[in-house]
Amino acid sequence: MNHSISKKELKKADQFTAAGRNALDQIIKNQKLVFSVALVLFLAGAGYVVWDKVNLSKELTVQEEFYAVEKSYLKLKESFDKAEADQKEKAVKEKESAKKDLAKKESQKSEDAKDTKSDSEKLTLPSGDLTKDYGTVVEGWKKLIEAHPSSKAAAMASLELSQLFLKYKVPKEALMILSKVKNQQNSDHFLGAMVFHSYAKLLSNQGQCADAVVIWEGLEKKKSLGFLAEQAQMGRALCLETLGQTEKAESLFKDLVAGDNASQGISKPGTPPKGKTQTQRTAEKYLRYMKIKKSMTGATPS
């Protein structure tokens, strides 16, 4: 057997070696350029790491601001809640004592006064005026939102603040505070998605259903937001019904109800079927309402 290397194979080897040498020569010849490119890539990578750490540090600082205001808010809320609970308890006692004779009633009032005197000195009922009750909280969160609207802390502050505005019956303020944060947030993430969803709910409550439907449609298309899909679909269905698009609304309500049936269909043998969610029970209620409405107007129910 002949183990010698042919001239053709030697030639191939020489060509390979030559190509390698040529590449090496080019690198040596252009070493400044190669070094510069490598340096740029290294600096870009290092810069991203530094930028990411700076952003994380900034976010943590802003969140510290949020929780400082949150602590004050929770303390005030707890005090108001306890004062209201005590007032309700006192009202119940007075109602019960009213059923008894006058002498016993007076005696009971006297005892109640002794029992609640120390608490009434410490606790104050909310005035019903947002500025008087939570003025420092509102200003603290507003300041944070204005300064850092794209932060997660701003998303949390806007959600908390919007609920506070709704409690004090100023929905326009709630809508405004969410609008300041909404376009700075990423709706693919949990907090950003909650801001968009809350904003859409407020729009629908204020009769701006056409705008709310667009936001909910966008949220429904995001696969990462499965936790919001049912609520977004319900909100959209209600708005479409309000806008007179009854067929689309009815289709969405049916899809919601069918979602429960599908989940029951994949249950393990011997496992009791899952109960309907509150959203699905509401969808069934609206389907019945739409059926009655159709029958009353002479339309053929589907």
Q: pLDDT digit string (tens) for 123-136?
A: 789 999 999 999 99
Full domain range(s) for residue 232: 212-261+277-302
Please compute the mean of the pLDDT values over residues 71-93 and round it to a whole number: 90
**Which one of 112-121, 193-202, 269-278 scores highest in mean pLDDT?**
193-202
Average per-residue pLDDT for the chain: 78
Length of the chain: 302
Query: Does residue 39 lie in a domain region?
Result: no
Q: What is the pLDDT of residue 202?
A: 97
| Nearest-5° Cα angle at 290, 288 to 292 | 70
The more confidently predicted of residues 78 and 113 is 78
Please compute the mean of the pLDDT values over residues 153-158 and round it to a whole number: 96
Query: Does residue 51 lie in a domain region?
Result: no
Query: Does residue 290 lie in a domain region?
Result: yes
Query: Does residue 231 lie in a domain region?
Result: yes
**Which one of 107-121, 195-209, 263-277 scores highest in mean pLDDT?**
195-209
Query: Does residue 73 lie in a domain region?
Result: no
Query: Does residue 251 lie in a domain region?
Result: yes
Question: 257 and 287 in contact (C-beta within 8 Å)?
Answer: yes
Ramachandran class of 298: left when φ > 0, alpha when ψ lies in -120 to 50, beta otherwise: left
Query: Does residue 185 lie in a domain region?
Result: no
Minimum mean pLDDT range among 16-20, 94-98, 137-141, 264-268: 264-268
Q: What is the pLDDT of residue 17?
A: 59
- Confidence class for position 63, pLDDT limits 50, 70, 90: very high
Q: What is the pLDDT of residue 277?
A: 85
Q: Is the pTM of this model over 0.85?
A: no
- Count of domains for the chain: 1
Query: Does residue 238 lie in a domain region?
Result: yes
